[in-house]
Amino acid sequence: MLADSAVEHYRGSFGNRAMYAPLLASALSLAVSGHGVGDRRNGAHAVRDATYVAAGVTGLIGTCFHVYNVAKRPGRLSLANLFYGAPLGAPMALLLSGMLGYAAERVRDAPPGKEARIAG
């Protein structure tokens, strides 16, 4: 996500300041994931949780921005606009990344020998 966002938003000349948000969110997610791999303690970590939630929210907001970008073009949701407009799947990948990171923290929080439970 970090490399894809960096290249594509660079091509867009960072015309909107919000284009920096996915770079920050994906870089932080990558950093805290590395921390999680190296952390031998059981249990979820509050900073990792917050980072994954922030990445998910950033992906959700980015999806809304990209849908708006495609929908405002002449022809609206035509095949050409879906192909040449802002990619709809890119921010969804950041949303998925945040959701999977948060779920991984729930699995990590399960006591040893117990079944991990997510959302009840």
The pLDDT tens digits for 100-116 are 999 888 888 777 788 87
Asked if the structure places residue 56 within a domain, the reply is: yes
Chain segment 24-60, per-residue pLDDT in tens: 999 999 999 999 888 887 777 889 999 999 999 999 9
In a domain, 12, yes or no: yes
Is residue 79 situated within a structural domain? yes
Q: Does 120 reside within a domain? A: no
Number of domains in the chain: 1
118 within a domain of the structure (yes/no):
no
In a domain, 16, yes or no: yes
Burial 8-37 (b: 16+ CB within 10 A, else e): ebeeeeeeeeebebbbebbebbeebbeebe
Question: The domain containing residue 38 runs over which residues?
Answer: 2-109
Residue 74 lies in a domain: yes
**C-alpha dihedral, 49 to 54 to 55 to 59, nearest 10°:** 140
